[in-house]
A and B are shown apart, each in its own frame.
Chain A
Amino acid sequence: MKAAFATVMVLFFLCAAVLASNPMSISEELDAQYSYVGDAKTRGAGLNAGSIDEHSADIKYVISPQVNKDLLLRFGFEWQRFSFDVPDHAAVPRVLQQASGVLGFDYQIADQWLMRAEVEPGIYSDFRDISWRDFDAPLILGAVYLADADLQWFFGLRLDVRCEYPVLPVAGARWKFADEWTLNFMLPNPRLEYKVNDRLTFYLGGGVEAGTFAVGEDFGSVHGQPKLDGAIVDYLELRLGAGCSWKITPSVTIEAEAGDMPYREFEFFDPNVEFRSHNAPYGQIACHARF
């Protein structure tokens, strides 16, 4: 399994190197993020699981060669990790991690419609005993309707057969209603933005961190709940906060935000065991680059 993954990554980097040698028809995206969520009292399965704090990090890199006027391919990888400081007795995973490739395309389907299809095949698990059981390939389908320069509508669909809700539809909009103000109502980071100048923007907004992961074959037994051995856990975390983004160059933006994490959920939907956390402060830094 590890060898197969390594082979895929080597092929990816070779592909990226070849594509990157043609600078005019290639664009690249790099998004990196780190956040810390403070102690949050967590309960579940009729027990107090104690206070759990969290470190999370996410790195996503995508290279997009333009095949023709209307079609861009997308190749890349994403690594995301949630680490939880969990008391020994609690049946809450210490780590949930995603290491996946990114394959997809962007296409102009009509005069004012663009679409994106993206699949992220990879390992989604606690990385304790990696096997094909940890493999998943969620698919994201999205479309944007460009009403005009100030208003765009977004429609999306997330398909993940391992998730409790395998099909998840979403909709949103980006509405620039004044030079300084933009309502960026799009998941996973809906925001109300205030542009101070061309470089600095303040925002109020929310965040959704979510994923579906497999835990180890002995995870339940180790924690005194054998029914959780090899179970699938849906992870969901909501955030509300305020922050600022600073365009340090036209291609690179850094962000810092802080706020409250009002709700977090580890849901082992089969056999229906849930752990929930409420209210903890969080801080986050991020960097977005477009080349």
Chain B
Amino acid sequence: MRRLVGFFSVVLSFALSQAAGAGPPNPVEIIKNFSDFQQIDVVRLLNGDILSERGSLMDFPNGISAQTCFAVPLSAEEAAKRLQLWDPSPHAELKVYAFHPLHMPCELADFQPLDFNNGQKPVRWLVAKMVASTPEKSELNLTRDEAREFAGCLPKRADLPKVSGCWAGLLLSRASAFQQRGLAGVLPYEVAGESVSPAEQLRTMLREQLAVSHEFLPILKKIGLAGNAAEPSLTPFYYWSLFDADYHGTMSLGAVYLLAVGDHFQLVDLEYYVSGNYYTSATLYEVWPVQAGGKSGALVWRGDFFAAPMLRFTKGTERIAYGVLMLQDIKKEIRCIEDEAKTGR
């Protein structure tokens, strides 16, 4: 028995000495372990390269995903903070007409900048869909009660300020429910007689990417996307935005969570409400400090998960093309993030 204890002591001390000598885990190896990237040249990333991969086909028919990896010349902490608060609206190429933070608790005044009178055709499209909405039929992502309330709010000859006011009320209700109860407070949309839960769609997509979900378990547990926690224990940055999605004006409510995990950071940007065109999206970031080729910066892995109704009917080569175009949009956004990091804006 004493000999066995001695043997285990030797093994244990060897293992501990190995662990102590290993130093902090190498971010490149970690990314290789959970992502689709097997070749990562940090020097090239620090020089502006962006690695990108379409996600593999999902069992979830409405889902699509993509992965990217890039670097910015900032400390990991600074990069993570910037990603959390990043405002895409100054970049015209991203076609984001408005992006505004929400207070906690949010109030109607947070939506006062909402202006449908900006002359943009996609926004006129959105207003037309809003005005045409009835409790029985709507092209927007609403519950039947929301559609009824919204239709009741609009007078017969609705003017734009009135439409904005009614819509702001609807967004306020959704944002308040999310701030109070997290994903448990997100009402499912009623689409063509079916109930569509953005929260459940996000969970389904993440379940299909086990390695990614496992890597992000610390933050996913805290925001209710994994594990049994019903309510989030992290306070995110809340926002609303108005943008062009394939020539269609679209509004979304989102929250960006940030969590420090040892020497690196995890972020989740989730759109818990989208007015139409698609159902929901989540963007995951993991940010590490790196040094290579005499430069230091932050290495960022990004995963995008996106659920949309038309993806169910987009198959074969069209689906591949859709993934390629999605990646192009993501890379366009990343270049804007990189430019801001370089110029210190």
- A residues contacting B by CB (< 8 A) are 24-25, 27, 29, 64, 66, 68-70, 72, 106, 108, 111-112, 114, 116, 144, 146, 148-149, 152, 178-179, 250-251, 290-291
In the complex, B82 has a CB within 8 A of chain A: no
Kindly name the residue among B54, B59, B312, B325 whose own CB sees the greatest number of chain A CB atoms within 10 A.
Answer: B325
In Å, the complex CA distance between A250 and B311 comes to 10
Kindly name the residue among B54, B312, B324 whose own CB sees the greatest number of chain A CB atoms within 10 A.
Answer: B324
Nearest CB in chain B to that of A64: its residue: B316
Q: How many chain B residues have a CB neighbour from A under 8 Å? A: 28
Determine which of A70, A112, A179 lies in contact with B247 in the assembled complex, contact meaning CB atoms within 8 Å: A179
The answer on a CB contact under 8 Å between A250 and B316 is no
The answer on a CB contact under 8 Å between B320 and A114 is yes
Determine which of B125, B312, B320 lies in contact with A70 in the assembled complex, contact meaning CB atoms within 8 Å: B320
The answer on a CB contact under 8 Å between B315 and A114 is no
The answer on a CB contact under 8 Å between B310 and A250 is yes
The answer on a CB contact under 8 Å between A290 and B313 is yes
The answer on a CB contact under 8 Å between B57 and A24 is yes
- B residues contacting A by CB (< 8 A) are 52, 54-57, 59, 61, 121-122, 125, 246-248, 310, 312-313, 315-321, 324-325, 327-329
The answer on a CB contact under 8 Å between B328 and A106 is no
The answer on a CB contact under 8 Å between B325 and A146 is yes
Contacts of A251 in B (CB 8 A): 313
The answer on a CB contact under 8 Å between A112 and B315 is no
Contacts of B247 in A (CB 8 A): 178-179
The answer on a CB contact under 8 Å between B316 and A290 is yes
In Å, the complex CA distance between A24 and B104 comes to 43
A70-B320, A106-B320 in contact; A149/B57 too (CB < 8 A)?
no
In Å, the complex CA distance between A106 and B57 comes to 15
Nearest CB in chain A to that of B55: its residue: A69
A69-B56, A149-B246 in contact; A29/B324 too (CB < 8 A)?
no
A106-B317, A111-B52 in contact; A179/B328 too (CB < 8 A)?
no
The answer on a CB contact under 8 Å between B320 and A250 is no
In Å, the complex CA distance between A106 and B316 comes to 9
The answer on a CB contact under 8 Å between B317 and A116 is yes
Determine which of B57, B125, B313, B325 lies in contact with A148 in the assembled complex, contact meaning CB atoms within 8 Å: B325
The answer on a CB contact under 8 Å between B312 and A25 is no
10 tightest A-B CB contacts, nearest first = A27-B316, A27-B315, A179-B247, A250-B313, A106-B317, A64-B316, A149-B325, A69-B56, A146-B324, A251-B313
Contacts of B329 in A (CB 8 A): 149
Contacts of B57 in A (CB 8 A): 24-25, 66, 69
Contacts of A68 in B (CB 8 A): 56
Determine which of B121, B248, B310, B320 lies in contact with A72 in the assembled complex, contact meaning CB atoms within 8 Å: B320
What are 14 contact pairs spanning A and B, CB under 8 A? A24-B57, A66-B57, A69-B57, A108-B324, A112-B324, A114-B320, A114-B321, A146-B321, A146-B324, A149-B325, A178-B247, A179-B248, A251-B313, A290-B313
In Å, the complex CA distance between A72 and B57 comes to 12
The answer on a CB contact under 8 Å between A112 and B310 is no
Contacts of A29 in B (CB 8 A): 316
Determine which of B59, B122, B310, B328 lies in contact with A146 in the assembled complex, contact meaning CB atoms within 8 Å: B328
In Å, the complex CA distance between A251 and B315 comes to 10
What is the distance, in angstroms, from B126's C-beta to the closest C-beta of chain A? Answer: 12
What is the distance, in angstroms, from A110's C-beta to the closest C-beta of chain B? Answer: 10
What is the distance, in angstroms, from B107's C-beta to the closest C-beta of chain A? Answer: 35
In Å, the complex CA distance between A291 and B313 comes to 7
Contacts of B61 in A (CB 8 A): 24
What is the distance, in angstroms, from A99's C-beta to the closest C-beta of chain B? Answer: 24
Contacts of B327 in A (CB 8 A): 111
What is the distance, in angstroms, from A72's C-beta to the closest C-beta of chain B? Answer: 6
Nearest CB in chain B to that of A69: its residue: B56
In Å, the complex CA distance between A152 and B325 comes to 11
Determine which of A144, A152, A179 lies in contact with B121 in the assembled complex, contact meaning CB atoms within 8 Å: A179
In Å, the complex CA distance between A24 and B224 comes to 29
Contacts of B52 in A (CB 8 A): 111
The answer on a CB contact under 8 Å between B59 and A24 is yes
What is the distance, in angstroms, from B131's C-beta to the closest C-beta of chain A? Answer: 16
